Amino acid sequence: MGIRKVMVACLAWCSLSLLTLQEALALTGPDIVQVLNARFRLTEAACPGGTAVYFCSGVLSRRSQNPANVPFWMLSAEAVASGVERFDYWRLDREPTDAMVPNGFVLTDTFTAIGIGKSLEGNPGATDAQVLVKNWDDAAPLRIPLQALFYNLAVSGSLRAAQKDQLVYFQSTGEWLPILRLQRDEAQQSLFGFNQTDQLYVGYQVAARLNARFADTSPTCRDGRAAFYCNGVLIRTTDQSTAFHSWNPSPGSVRGNGASFSYLRADAGVSRFYKSQGFVIREQAAPVGNPMSLRCAYPYDAGTGGSADVCRTHGGLCSELGVNSVDAWVARYGGRVNGSCAFNVDPQQFQLSIDVRKNRGDVYGWNEFMVAAWPQDNPVQLPIEAFFYNVQALVPSNGLPGAQYDQKDYFQVTGRSIPILRITLGAATGQVFVFNPLEQGL
C-alpha cells in the first residue's frame, strides 16, 4: 500500500472514531451508534499499515447462539473444536450472511481493541462476509473487546433476549453493555440505532427520579401550579390477574369517572398500600399522548367504589362546603376521616389534602386521589413510568410475580420495556423506590 493511501485510510479511521483509544470505554450508546455506523459505511480496500479491512472498517458481529443458561460470550462448540469463532462481517458493500439474526453482540475494531489492551486476532474467513476470530478466554469476559449488544427490530422477542444478555454480563462483570437496535436504513446508509428505553439499567434512573419527587415537599410548582404537576408520586395498586390488562380502568372507574390512586410524598403520611403490586404514573406536567388527569383528592380512603361520581361520594367538594382550613376539616370530619369531602386540585386545596393527614393516622394508611377514567387498550400513550411491588399491603400477597406479569404483558402489547421497582414506605435510607435488575421479569 502507498504512503498516500495509508494516510487516507488512517485519516478516515481516525475521523470516524471521534475518540482517543483511552476514551474508548467511556462511549455512550448514541456515541457507539455513530462509530459503528461510520465503520459500516467505510469501504476501504485495506486499513492503515496494510492490515486487513476488518481492522478499521465494517462491524464484527455474532448472534447469541448459546443455550439460555450459557452466557453469550462463551465460545461455541465449533470454536472449541477449531480454535476460531466465526463472526459475521457487516459492511455497506457486502451482503449479510444472516439478515434475520435476532440478537447478539459486536466487537470493537481491532485497532481500538489493541489500544485498550484487549487485542483480538482474526483471519478473513470462508467468505467476504465472515471473519474468523481466534478464541478468547471466555472465563474472563472483561478481557473480551465487546462494544455493544444488539437486537433485531424485525424479530419478535429479540429485545427481551438482548436484555437477558445485558443482565448476565452485568451480573458477571459489574458493567453494562449498551443494547443497540439493528435497523438497516438504506437511505441513511446506517445499520444501528439506540433507544434509552431499551436499556435494562434505565430502572436505576427511574428510581432516582421517583425518589427525588417523593422527597420534594414544595406546596406548589415553580410556575404556581399545584404540587402534583411536578412532585410527589401517584401510584395505583392492582389485582394479580391474567383476565385483564392492569393499566385499563375498571368498569367501576368508568361509571364513576375516576380510578383510585394514592399520592406518595415525604409529608403525605401514607404508611401502607391497598394491594401488593401496581403501577406508577409520571408527574402531571410530563408530556404524554394520553394524559391521566387528577380530578380530586381525599385525604383518607373514601370508599368510592360504586359512586356515580367519585368526587361527590360524601356530599361534594370541600370548597363548596366551606372546608378551607385544617381546623374546618377537623371540626367536620375529625371523628370520621373516611367520610371526608373531596378536595379539588387547585394549589391551596390540594396542599390542604396533605396537611389534614399530618400527625393523624387512620386504620388503612393511605389517601385516595381520583384520576379521571382514560380510554381502554391504549397503553403506549399512557404516562406509566414503572410497575412496582411492595410488602406493606393491607391485602398481602407476593407482589413481585404480579408486577413481573404486568411488565411482560405491557411489553407484549407495546414492545416497550418498563422497569419494576420495589416501594418501601418509611425506608431508613430515604430510598423509597429501589430498582433491582434481578427482579425484572425477563
pLDDT of the chain along its 442 residues, tens only? 333 443 344 444 444 443 434 344 568 999 999 999 999 999 988 888 888 888 889 999 999 976 778 999 999 999 999 999 999 999 999 888 888 899 999 999 888 888 888 877 776 554 688 999 999 999 999 999 999 999 999 998 899 899 999 999 999 999 999 999 999 888 889 999 999 989 999 999 999 999 999 999 999 999 999 999 999 999 999 998 888 899 999 999 999 999 999 999 999 999 999 999 999 999 999 999 999 999 999 999 999 998 999 999 998 999 999 999 999 999 999 999 999 999 999 999 999 999 999 877 789 999 999 999 999 999 999 999 999 999 999 998 999 999 999 999 999 999 888 999 999 999 988 899 999 998 998 7
CB 326 within 8 A of CB 356: yes
Contacts 24+ apart (CB under 8 A), 52-55: 52/122, 52/124, 53/91, 53/124, 54/89, 54/109, 54/110, 54/122, 54/124, 54/131, 55/109, 55/110, 55/111
Kindly report the pTM of this predicted structure: 0.84
pLDDT at position 331? 95
CB 353 within 8 A of CB 242: no
**Cβ neighbour number for residue 80 with a 10 Å cutoff:** 12
**Distance between CA atoms of residues 301 and 337, nearest Å:** 8
In one-letter notation, the amino acid at residue 392 is: Q
CB 383 within 8 A of CB 291: yes
The residues near 288 (Cβ < 8 Å, ≥ 6 apart) are 282, 381, 382, 383
**Cβ neighbour number for residue 9 with a 10 Å cutoff:** 24
Under DSSP, is residue 142 helix (H, G, I), strand (E, B) or coil? helix
pLDDT at position 9? 42
Name the residue with cell 429501589. Answer: 434
Chain-centre distance of CA 35, in angstroms? Answer: 24
The residues near 364 (Cβ < 8 Å, ≥ 6 apart) are 272, 274, 300, 301, 338, 394
Instruction: Please choose, from the candidates 324, 319, 346, 383, the residue with its C-alpha nearest in 3D space to the C-alpha of residue 221.
Output: 346
Which set of grid coordinates corresponds to residue 272? 401502607
Q: Cα torsion for 278, 282, 284, 286, to the nearest 10°? A: -160
Rounded to 5 degrees, φ, ψ at 170 are -65, -45
Burial class (CB in 10 A: 0-12, 13-18, 19+), 158: buried
In one-letter notation, the amino acid at residue 33 is: V
In one-letter notation, the amino acid at residue 23 is: E
